Amino acid sequence: MRQLFEDICPPEAIVAPAQLRLRDPGYSATSRDAGLLLRPDTTAMVAAICRTAQAQGIGIVPQGGLTGLVDGTATTADQIALSLERMTAILRVDPVQRIIVAEAGATLQQVNDAAARYGLMTGIDIPSRGNCTLGGIISTNAGGIRVIRYGMTRDNVLGLTAVLPDGTVIEDMNTLLKNNTGYDLKQLFIGSEGTLGIVTAAVLRLYPRPDTTGVALLSCPDLGAAQALLAIAQRMASGNLLSFEAMWPEYYALTSGLLCKGHEPLPPDAALKIILEVAGKDSDATEALLLSIFEDAAEAGHVADGVIAKSQTEQLAIWSIREDTDLIAQPLGAFLSYDISIEANEITGFLDRWDRARATHFPELDSFVFGHLGDCNLHVCMAVSPDTKQNRGPIDDIFYDTVTSTPGSSISAEHGIGLGKRKQLPHNRSPASLALMRQIKATLDPKAIMNPGKLLAEI
Ligand SMILES: Cc1cc2nc3c(=O)[nH]c(=O)nc-3n(C[C@H](O)[C@H](O)[C@H](O)COP(=O)(O)OP(=O)(O)OC[C@H]3O[C@@H](n4cnc5c(N)ncnc54)[C@H](O)[C@@H]3O)c2cc1C
Which residue puts its alpha carbon closest to atom 16 of ligand 1? Answer: 68
Query: How many angstroms does the Cα of residue 237 sit away from the middle of ligand 1?
Result: 30
139 lines ligand 1 (CB under 6 A): yes
Our mutation pick for probing the ligand 1 site, out of 69, 189, 192, 372, counting the most ligand atoms within 8 A of Cβ, is 69
Give the pLDDT score at 459: 39
129 lines ligand 1 (CB under 6 A): no
Give the pLDDT score at 458: 57
Which residue puts its alpha carbon closest to atom 8 of ligand 1? Answer: 144
Supply the DSSP symbol for 266. Answer: S
371 lines ligand 1 (CB under 6 A): no
107 lines ligand 1 (CB under 6 A): no
Query: How many angstroms does the Cα of residue 140 sit away from the middle of ligand 1?
Result: 6
Contact 459, 448 (CB under 8 A): yes
Domains and CATH numbers, the chain: 2-83 (3.30.43.10), 90-208 (3.30.465.10), 212-323 (3.30.70.2190), 328-415 (3.30.70.2740)
Query: How many angstroms does the Cα of residue 43 sit away from the middle of ligand 1?
Result: 20
Query: How many angstroms does the Cα of residue 414 sit away from the middle of ligand 1?
Result: 10
Length of the chain: 459
Quote the Cα angle for 155-158-159, to 5°: 130
451 lines ligand 1 (CB under 6 A): yes
Give the pLDDT score at 32: 98
336 lines ligand 1 (CB under 6 A): no
84 lines ligand 1 (CB under 6 A): yes
Query: How many angstroms does the Cα of residue 136 sit away from the middle of ligand 1?
Result: 5
Question: Which residues, 6+ apart, have CB-to-CB distance to 172 below 8 Å?
Answer: 159, 160, 161, 162, 185, 186
The whole-angstrom separation of Cα 242 and Cα 21 is 40
Which residue puts its alpha carbon closest to atom 7 of ligand 1? Answer: 144
Which residue puts its alpha carbon closest to atom 9 of ligand 1? Answer: 144
27 lines ligand 1 (CB under 6 A): yes
Q: Which atom of ligand 1 is nearest to the CA of 65?
A: 26
pTM for the predicted model, two decimal places:
0.94
Spans in the chain with pLDDT lower than 70: 458-459
Q: Where are the beta strands (DSSP E) in 6-59?
A: 14-15, 36-38
62 lines ligand 1 (CB under 6 A): yes
For the chain, percent of residues with pLDDT exceeding 90: 97
73 lines ligand 1 (CB under 6 A): yes
79 lines ligand 1 (CB under 6 A): no
CA 446 to chain centroid, in Å, comes to 29
Query: How many angstroms does the Cα of residue 153 sit away from the middle of ligand 1?
Result: 11
Contact 43, 201 (CB under 8 A): yes
> For residue 262, with 0-12 CB atoms within 10 Å meaning exposed, 13-18 middle and 19 or more buried, which class applies?
exposed
What Å distances lie between residue 425 and 60, 196, 339, 347, CA to CA?
Answer: 23, 18, 13, 21
- Classified as helix, coil or strand, 63 is strand
